[in-house]
Amino acid sequence: MFSAGAIAVGCVQEPVNFFNNERWFIPPTKPFRRNDRSRARSRVIDRPRPGSIRLIDEEGNQVGVVEIAEALAMGDERGLDLVEIAPQADPPTCKLMDYGKYKYQQKKKTSKQKKVVQRRKEIKLRPKTDEHDFQVKLDRARKFLDKGHKVLVTMVFRGREAIHLDLGRELLGKFAVKLEDISKVEQAPAREGRNRMNMVLTLK
């Protein structure tokens, strides 16, 4: 048995120096920069510096190429921030905006998108559905679409109604036309089984 921390060379034990720089190589580490991450996230120009930018005002109008100092002065006059929106452009493109309000709106929008869970809601029709019921079902479908859900419109045939598929298809087409301002047909009317015809609408 050899003692810990030693290497056998023939019958001679040679101590190993674990702190010998020739035996151990420690790769150089990247210097820690506390503000690297914050600078990467920051898009606001808050100090004058040499150079020019392509400026867009708070209304979305093109101001043109101006010096950074001039753009900052315009922002100060209007109580707005100067924000880079296309730093890779030549020259970089910036916009005047209330950056705090913009971040809040983006966060709120992202949160709302996460909360919306898309579901498929079903609306049932009959070939003999009267005008009042037809309108009620239209209104219900519109509410579903407004909430981001898909709408499965099912035409149900009973008894001898099944021989008049053209009437059911025509009514489904009328239903889709009435909602074409907010929706599009994802699945055209298609027969499902003996007594059903389905159509799927989704938000534009």
* Cα R_g (the chain), whole angstroms: 34
Task: Kindly list the distances between the CA atom of residue 191 and the CA atoms of 165, 166, 172, 182, in Å, as whole numbers in the listed order.
Answer: 9, 11, 12, 25
> 151 has which bridge partners?
121, 201
Contacts of residue 172, Cβ cutoff 8 Å, sequence gap at least 6: 125, 153, 155, 189, 197, 199
Is residue 22 scored above 90 in pLDDT?
no
Measured CA to CA, the distance from residue 160 to residue 173 in angstroms comes to: 21
Which residue has 């709302």 as its token pair? 112
More confident residue, 116 or 180: 180
Q: What is the DSSP letter of 199?
A: E
Q: Smallest Cα–Cα separation from 193: which of 162, 150, 168, 153?
A: 162
Q: What is the pLDDT of residues 159-194, one digit of tens each?
A: 888 888 889 999 999 999 999 999 999 999 998 888
> 142 has which bridge partners?
none
Please give the model's pTM, rounded to 2 decimal places.
Answer: 0.44
Q: What is the pLDDT of residues 72-100, one digit of tens each?
A: 999 999 999 999 999 888 999 999 999 88
More confident residue, 113 or 122: 122
- Domains parsed from the chain with CATH numbers: 42-110 (3.10.20.80), 120-203 (3.30.110.10)
Q: What is the DSSP letter of 50?
A: S
